[in-house]
């Protein structure tokens, strides 16, 4: 129960930062639209070619499209992390400020998107090709990668490190202050699921169920459900990034920002006995 209450407090503080600067949602919104366009323009034809037995050409397009979509996602996430950090330090950054910072980190973002895409592709391949054992191994590998790289976007945004250095930096942060550092993200995901994703899914299911009998009524329910689903996804990404930046500041320099208290952040990361904050270029 104590852990649940702590997670709720972290979620509320992340929401407060977002509500004070609703412009932060622009980053995942625009990034999501651009990534979707990339998927339609590049991945779509790739899937078509694979279906037409042009396997090599199709696979190349799918690989390129997947990488470009990942690059776009991380590019806008870095801009969001930068603005969230400045917002939590009492400033009022503009969308242009975030995009300018993301552009200055272009090389780092490109490299990180490549590494992340390759790793996740390997993990998915293991899950799909080795049956139950592959599903278990792939699941564990994916979870470990998620924990290791949870602070990757804040590290890239605030330190400007390349992909290999980012992995080393994240590993250093995790090693120096290991704890349940994804507790806040789990809490955020659970709350957004109950408040947004679950109602959206129920509306979509209800719309599909009554589609045959009502037509327009079912379509309206599905449309409302999809809109809620998109809004919930945008909010979850924004809140998770805000929490990640706050956690990075605390783990890296023992600095509580954005209204988060040291006690709340300690509930997400337990300091190892004898450990000291991992320092770096901030």
pLDDT of residue 62: 92
Supply the mean pLDDT for the chain: 84
pLDDT of residue 281: 47
pLDDT confidence band for 211 (50 / 70 / 90): confident
Residues 34-62, mean pLDDT to the nearest whole number: 89
Residues of the chain with pLDDT > 90, as a percent, come to 36
Residues 124-142, mean pLDDT to the nearest whole number: 89
Q: Is 149's pLDDT higher than 90?
A: no
Sequence-distant (6+) residues with CB within 8 A of 184 are 7, 10, 11, 14, 243, 247, 268
Residues 193-197, mean pLDDT to the nearest whole number: 76
Could you read off the pLDDT of 249-276 as tens digits, one per residue?
888 877 888 788 777 777 666 555 444 5
pLDDT of residue 269: 61
Residues 217-240, mean pLDDT to the nearest whole number: 84
pLDDT of residue 280: 52
Residues 105-129, mean pLDDT to the nearest whole number: 93
Q: Is 235's pLDDT higher than 60?
A: yes
Residues of the chain with pLDDT > 70, as a percent, come to 86
Conformation bin of residue 224: beta by default, left when phi > 0, alpha when psi is -120 to 50: alpha
pLDDT of residue 268: 65
Q: Is 43's pLDDT higher than 80?
A: yes
* pTM score above 0.85: no
Conformation bin of residue 130: beta by default, left when phi > 0, alpha when psi is -120 to 50: alpha
Going from N- to C-terminal start, the domains of the chain cover 2-266
Higher pLDDT, 193 or 224: 224
pLDDT of residue 6: 65
Highest mean pLDDT among 96-100, 177-181, 193-197: 96-100
């Amino acid at each position: 129960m104590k852990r649940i209450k702590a997670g709720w407090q972290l979620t509320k503080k992340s929401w407060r930062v977002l509500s004070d600067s609703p412009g932060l949602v622009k980053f995942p919104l625009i990034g999501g639209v651009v990534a979707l366009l990339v998927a339609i323009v590049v991945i779509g034809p790739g899937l078509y070619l694979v279906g037409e037995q042009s396997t090599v050409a199709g696979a190349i397009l799918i690989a390129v499209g997947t990488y470009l979509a990942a690059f776009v996602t991380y590019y806008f996430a870095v801009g969001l992390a930068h603005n969230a950090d400045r917002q939590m330090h009492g400033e009022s950054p503009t969308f242009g400020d975030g995009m300018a910072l993301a552009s200055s980190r272009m090389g780092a973002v490109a490299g990180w998107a490549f590494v992340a895409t390759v790793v996740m592709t390997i993990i998915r391949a293991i899950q799909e090709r080795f049956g139950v054992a592959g599903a278990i191994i792939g699941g564990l590998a994916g979870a470990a990668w998620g924990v290791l790289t949870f602070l990757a976007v804040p590290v890239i945004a605030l330190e400007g490190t390349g992909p290999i250095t980012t992995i080393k930096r994240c590993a250093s942060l995790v090693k120096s202050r290991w704890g349940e550092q994804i507790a806040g993200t789990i809490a955020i995901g659970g709350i957004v699921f109950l408040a947004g994703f679950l109602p959206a899914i129920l509306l979509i299911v209800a719309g599909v169920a009554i589609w045959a009998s009502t037509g327009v009524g079912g379509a309206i329910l599905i449309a409302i459900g999809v809109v809620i689903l998109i809004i919930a996804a945008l909010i979850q990404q924004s809140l998770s990034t805000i929490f990640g930046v706050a956690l990075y500041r605390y783990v890296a320099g023992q600095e509580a920002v954005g209204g988060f208290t040291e006690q709340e952040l300690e509930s997400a990361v337990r300091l190892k006995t004898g450990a000291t904050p991992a320092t770096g270029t901030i």
